[in-house]
Amino acid sequence: MNGRLRRFAPSSFLMFVIVLVVSASAAALVVVYNTGQRIIVERERAEALAERDLIEEVDQEQGLAVVTSSVARRSRFATSGERYGLFSAKGEPLAGDIAEFLPEFRNSDWRIVHVARPVKATLHVEGTTLPDGAVLVVGRNLSNLRQFERSIIYGFTAAVGIVAAAGLAAGLLLNFLILQRVDAIAATAERIAAGDLSARTTVADPRDPFGRVGVSLNAMLERIEELMTGMRTVTDSLAHDLRSPLTRMNGALARALHPGVTEEERLDAIDVAHDEAERMLATLSALLDIARAETGLSREMMQAVDLDALAAELVDFFAPVIEDAGQKLVFHSAATPVVVRAHEALLRQALGNLLHNASVYAGEGTVVTVSVEDREETVRLVVADTGLGVPQDQRGRVQERFVRLDPARSVGGSGLGLAIVAACAKLHGGTLRLEDNRPGLLAILDIQRS
């Protein structure tokens, strides 16, 4: 339990919260105190000036005797903090509760003075010399200001205590929630490390920081699972698809090494072994191309490519192949050059695979159409034929590695042609879609411009 409490309340984090709260409260206290002090001092000065002016007016109209009586009456009925003094021209006290005359009383403008009689006190005073030479002093004790200071300190202490307690509780709660999210992510990572590739972290709100981390983590895990599944599929498929050619090559070499065969039979057997080795190397090369495209390693070879010119070149190259297959090849060129940043070699291979598939599987009498379409955000390369087509439920499957539909098995092939095209589309931020051409197959390769 203590261990979990320490996890929920790391000292450095809580200390930071407490220091932050106290510092913010202290800054607020300084602002409030300065503002309150200024208001109190200005209000008291305004009141003292008003009283001084009133008493001066009384002196002008009714004389010193009435002023003496007024000052004595004000002193008797003064509230807390109000002080008055009236002195003769020689400094003798005439009335009021300020009994000690100080030279700075003459014409003082709200200055702080210290008096010793009748009691020691620190005052803010407004002083003036009346026409007959008497000195009038109207003052305010600093008791109001001191009381305000005590109230601020008491309020600050209480506020800091409340805010510190609230901050501590909020820090503990926040730390608990953070660790709860982190523990969920860590638990998912532990399940993945234990071999459960289907594990995913729970995302409560994809908009908060941990939610975005969870979404990114799940996307990464899906990609890892996809790659691991693909690797297992490739391994299984390689074991299955390479066993037969290896067996045939081994048998051919065994015949070639047999002492009883003729030279012609030995050369025929070596040719068979050579052909099987060529097919295996082509398969491995295709797998390497797919792996490099899917992992993004081929991006370093991206460059500006005129897709329309590339398509025209491949159409010219495959025209004899299409003609030998008893088909017709049509090319719809774009109106202007279509330049994209692409992996030229892989793009050539992808378009070549689509044309090769059409020549092999579309059937005699088919019209094969190649077109380049320039769109706002993508460039579209389309290869359409009017042949047999691909069943709708198989159009996604044929893009996987080593997948060959039953009608295609009679003409051989490794089952990697469309997988390379799909990998090429993925490398270029696009997609490969197989649709119904009514009749035939419509292969659409979308490529992002950027």
The DSSP line for 260-315 is TS-HHHHHHHHHHHHHHHHHHHHHHHHHHHHHHHHHTGGGGG-EEEEHHHHHHHHH
Q: Which residue type sits at 30?
A: V
Q: Identify the DSSP state of 293.
A: H
Strands in 135-141's sheet, in edge-to-edge order, are 93-96, 82-87, 135-141, 121-129, 109-115
CB 66 within 8 A of CB 129: no
**C-alpha span between 55 and 82 (Å, rounded):** 15
pLDDT of residue 410: 46
Q: Residues of 265-288 as b/e, b for ≥16 C-beta within 10 angstroms?
A: eeeebeebbeebeebbeebeebbe
Question: Could you tell me the strand order of the sheet in which 328-332 lies?
Answer: 328-332, 367-374, 378-385, 441-448, 431-436
pLDDT of residue 390: 86
Average pLDDT per block of 10 residues along the chain, 450 residues long: 45 68 77 80 84 86 88 83 86 87 84 79 85 88 75 78 76 75 79 77 73 79 70 60 75 84 85 82 68 62 86 91 92 86 84 89 90 85 89 79 56 68 82 89 84
Are 287 and 321 in contact by the 8 Å Cβ rule? The answer is: no
Task: Give the integer Cα–Cα distance in Å for 357 and 441.
Answer: 11
Neighbours of 381 (CB within 10 A): 28
Token pair 């001084």 in the structure block, residue: 52
336 φ, ψ (degrees, to nearest 5): -130, 165
How far is Cα 43 from Cα 21, in angstroms, rounded to an integer?
33
DSSP state of 402: T
Cross-strand partners of 381: 372, 445
Structure tokens given for 383: 């290869």
36, 145 in Cβ contact below 8 A?
no
pTM greater than 0.85 (yes/no):
no
How far apart are alpha carbons 206 and 212 in whole angstroms?
5
Give CA–CA dist 35/42, Å, rounded. Answer: 11
Q: What is the pLDDT of residue 327?
A: 92
3-state secondary structure of 147: helix
DSSP state of 335: S
